[in-house]
Amino acid sequence: MAVIHLLSQNTIDQIAAGEVVERPRSVVKELTENAIDAEATAISVEIKEGGISLIRVTDNGSGIEKSQIRKAFLRHATSKIEDAQDLPHIQSLGFRGEALSSICAVSQMELITKTQEDFTGIHYQIEGGAECEFSEIGAPKGTTFLVRNLFYNVPARRKFLKQPQTEGSYVADLMEHLALSHPDISIKFIVNGQVRFQTSGNNQLKEVIYRIYGKEVTDHLIEFSLNGKSVRVRGFLGKPEQNRSNRNFEIFFVNGRYVHNDVLQKAVEEGYKQYLMQHKFPFCVLHFEFEPEDIDVNVHPAKMEIRLQHGAEVYAEIAAAIRDRLHEIELIPDVLLTEEKEQPSQIRQAPEPFEVNRTSRIYQESETIRGAGGGKSRLCQREYCRKRQDRKRDRIRSCRIR
């Protein structure tokens, strides 16, 4: 007969940790979400060896009161809800009270925290769920979490981690999304001692997009906002010519949370439908705002998925608004329709004599280069250059005659 064992708290914690802490990225996600919930205006994240050997998350938020520190590390201990009745109105990113207990069960963790009211901070150390130190320490207001040697006590889990570089790239993706989700927070990301990026926290989403994706992407953005019946949206749509071959750049935030949601994804793609070829996807960074009771974020422990109450309405509103916005914008790239358009301004002026020599020399050179080819467009260009040259000569002659 099989013997039924009651598992120890430590074993329960390690099993439960598996749901929340999958890899370094999950740890960074939970800790940065806590910092945002603590109303931090600046967050600094540092990782070493892809976050496997060290993760440091520092914030300037509220800090944790001395008497609450030990409690914060207990399973299902949270300051964000009191009971199930609060669930439909959740405004915070966290609420399950599982992150700290899960992370400390599978790593060597340190916390330094101080509230505005306290004179000194607290240094708390907990390894594999067991407390090692609780002492006073001088510290600025806010919280720093250090997570060392993730899965040091669960070799089976550690084995499934990828190379530090790959784990680091997962964290980097997360950090980019975090910065895009909160342009109002200054976010600094350091990898192996080097600053990867830092945002100013001036609440300009476009500036964050620029810092992360660069000028090329930022130059092709269309501002988008929608004040619909069921949803409010603000953000940026990439012009269709900036399309991608995968969905990685369809970046959605719902009430400040980075999420995947089929309805939103399909709605956006429907809006772009007539502007994109099949198997091409848009670049977009969109912040959706719903009434908290219209969404269910309690679908998955990692809270990456949400359920929408009025999916059909939301879909229709978003698809139509995006379609209209893209329609509104002049999407046809500037095309040279006439010879006159391409003529630079100095050519329109009467050239000096040396200018004639120079342009005819350039013309001859380009003729020699082009000689080897000879497609239709090249012939047109040659014809065009010849006409331009003739016109110039005529103008100079008429000037001289005058």
Identify which of residues 145 and 281 has a Cβ nearer to ligand ADP in the complex: 145
Residue 41 interacts with ligand ADP (CB under 6 A): yes or no: no
How many binding residues for ligand ADP (CB under 6 A)? Answer: 22
Residue 110 interacts with ligand ADP (CB under 6 A): yes or no: no
For residue 333, give the amino acid letter. P
Measure the CA angle with vertex 190, ends 184 and 196; round to 5°.
75
Q: Which residues contact 119 (CB under 8 A, 6 or more apart)?
A: none
**Residue ranges in contact with Mg ion by CB under 5 A:** 34, 94, 99
What is the distance, to the nearest Å, from the Cα of residue 184 to the centroid of all Cα atoms in its chain?
14
Least distance from Mg ion to the Cβ atom of residue 33, Å = 5
Residue 294 interacts with ligand ADP (CB under 6 A): yes or no: no
Instruction: Sheet containing 257-258: give its strands across.
Output: 221-227, 232-238, 284-289, 250-254, 257-258
Least distance from Mg ion to the Cβ atom of residue 13, Å = 16
Query: Minimal CB distance to ligand ADP: which residue?
Result: 94
Q: Which residues contact 279 (CB under 8 A, 6 or more apart)?
A: 245
What is the distance, to the nearest Å, from the Cα of residue 398 to the centroid of all Cα atoms in its chain?
61
Site track 68-107 with ligand ADP (rule: CB under 6 A), x = hit: ----x----xxxx-------------xxxxxxx-------
> Where do the H-state alpha helices sit in 21-92?
24-37, 69-72
Span interacting with ligand ADP, options 7-15, 44-52, 55-63, 163-171, rule CB under 6 A = 55-63
Identify which of residues 99 and 178 has a Cβ nearer to Mg ion in the complex: 99
320 binds, among Mg ion, ligand ADP, none (CB under 5 to 8 A by kind): none
HEC letters along 122-161 = EEEEEECCEEEEEEEECCCCEEEEEEECCCCCCHHHHCCC
Spatial contact of 10 and 105, defined as CB atoms under 8 Å apart: yes
CA–CA gap between residue 361 and residue 299 (Å, rounded): 71
Span interacting with ligand ADP, options 61-69, 153-161, 204-212, 331-339, rule CB under 6 A = 61-69
Residue 243 interacts with ligand ADP (CB under 6 A): yes or no: no
For 43, the token pair is: 């967050």
Identify which of residues 69 and 208 has a Cβ nearer to ligand ADP in the complex: 69
Residue 38 interacts with ligand ADP (CB under 6 A): yes or no: yes
Span interacting with ligand ADP, options 28-36, 178-186, 197-205, 383-391, rule CB under 6 A = 28-36
32 binds, among ligand ADP, Mg ion, none (CB under 5 to 8 A by kind): none
Site for ligand ADP in 302-321 (CB under 6 A): none
Site for ligand ADP in 127-146 (CB under 6 A): 143
Q: Which helix (H) or strand (E) holds 191?
A: strand 186-191
Spatial contact of 57 and 171, defined as CB atoms under 8 Å apart: no
CA–CA gap between residue 155 and residue 336 (Å, rounded): 64
Least distance from ligand ADP to the Cβ atom of residue 273, Å = 39
Identify which of residues 38 and 251 has a Cβ nearer to Mg ion in the complex: 38
Least distance from ligand ADP to the Cβ atom of residue 283, Å = 31
List residues binding ligand ADP (CB under 6 A).
30, 34-35, 38, 59, 61-64, 72, 77-80, 94-100, 143
